[in-house]
Amino acid sequence: MNRKPLEETEEITEEVDYVNGPVCTVKKMAAPPDHRFRFFTQSFPLIAVCWLILLVIMGLRIHFTSVISENNAKLTAEIQDLKTQNQELESQMNNWKELNASRAQWSIDLYCPMIKNKRVCQHCQEGWEYNEPSCYAINNARPSDRKTWEEAREDCRGKNADFAVVHNQDEKDIISRYTWRAVGFWIGLRVEDGKWRWIDGSDLTETSWIEAPTDGHCAISNAYRRWTSVSCDDRQEWICKKNALSF
C-alpha cells in the first residue's frame, strides 16, 4: 500500500528529466568564404565567354542588318532604273513600229500607186529609171541647184538611196546613157588614201575608166563615156541608185 506513491514519484521525476533534457537542433552550415571565392573564380571565365558570345552575336546582327538594308536600298534603286529603262524601250519600240508601219505604207504608195481604184505596182517609184536590178534617179539640176559631192550624196541618202556604184562595163554604159549631156554627174567614186575607191569600200579595178587619182578629187560621168576627175567641191548634177522592187 505504501510503495505505490513512491513509484509514482519516480515516474514524475523521469518525465521532468526528459522534458528538461537537451534539445537537438539542426543548424544551417554556411559555406566558408574561401569556398565562395573559389566558386566565383571558377565560374567567371564561363560567364565572360557567354557575354563575349552574346556581344559578338549582337554585333553581327547589327552589321548584317545594316548590310541587308543597304543592299535592299540598292536593289530597289536598280529595280526602279530597270523599270524606267524598260518603259523607255517600250516607248522606243512603239515609235519604231509606228515608223516602220509608216515607211511600209509610204513604200507601198510609192511603188504601188492607186490607179483607177486599183494598186498597180512597178519596179521603181515615179521619177526613177529602171534597169534590172536597180533604179536610178538622174538629178538634172539647174546651175544654181547643183551640189558638191558630199551635198549630192546627202540628197541621195534622203531618198533611201546612195550614189551609183559601177563594177562592170554594162552598168558603166547604162550610167553613160543617162549622162548624155555635156555636164558631169557625180557617181560614188572618189580618191581615198591615194586610190580611187567606191563608196562601198571597194577599190576601182578598171584604171582605164578614169585618169590617175588626185587627192581631194571625185569622179563625174559625162557625155563622152569617160569619167572625169574633178574637185569634190565643184558643183555638179548627180545620180542616185537603189535596188528595184522585185515581184
Of the candidates 60, 100, 140, 111, the one whose C-alpha atom is nearest the C-alpha of residue 244 is: 111
pLDDT given for residue 139 in this prediction: 92
d(CA 191, CA 163): 15
∠ CA(111), CA(150), CA(158), 5° rounding?
Answer: 25
Check pLDDT > 50 for residue 245.
yes
pLDDT given for residue 97 in this prediction: 56
Residues 223, 163 contacting (CB under 8 angstroms): no
pLDDT given for residue 182 in this prediction: 65
Let me know how long the chain is: 247
Which residues does residue 185 pair with via DSSP β-bridges, in sequence order?
A: 221, 237
180 compared with 199, residue with greater pLDDT: 199
Q: Which of the residue ranges 72-81, 173-182, 197-206 would you say has the lowest mean pLDDT?
A: 173-182
% of residues, the chain, pLDDT over 90: 33
The string of pLDDT tens digits covering residues 113-157 is 677 777 777 888 888 999 888 999 999 889 999 999 999 999 999
Mean pLDDT of 229-242: 95
* Average pLDDT across the chain, whole number: 79
d(CA 162, CA 136): 10
Check pLDDT > 70 for residue 222.
yes
d(CA 125, CA 109): 9
Report in angstroms the alpha-carbon separations of 160 from 80, 106, 156.
39, 12, 7
Q: Any idea which residue has 541621195 for its cell?
A: 156
pLDDT given for residue 28 in this prediction: 47
Of the candidates 151, 158, 159, 113, the one whose C-alpha atom is nearest the C-alpha of residue 135 is: 159
pLDDT given for residue 37 in this prediction: 54
The string of pLDDT tens digits covering residues 18-51 is 444 444 444 445 545 555 556 556 666 777 788 8
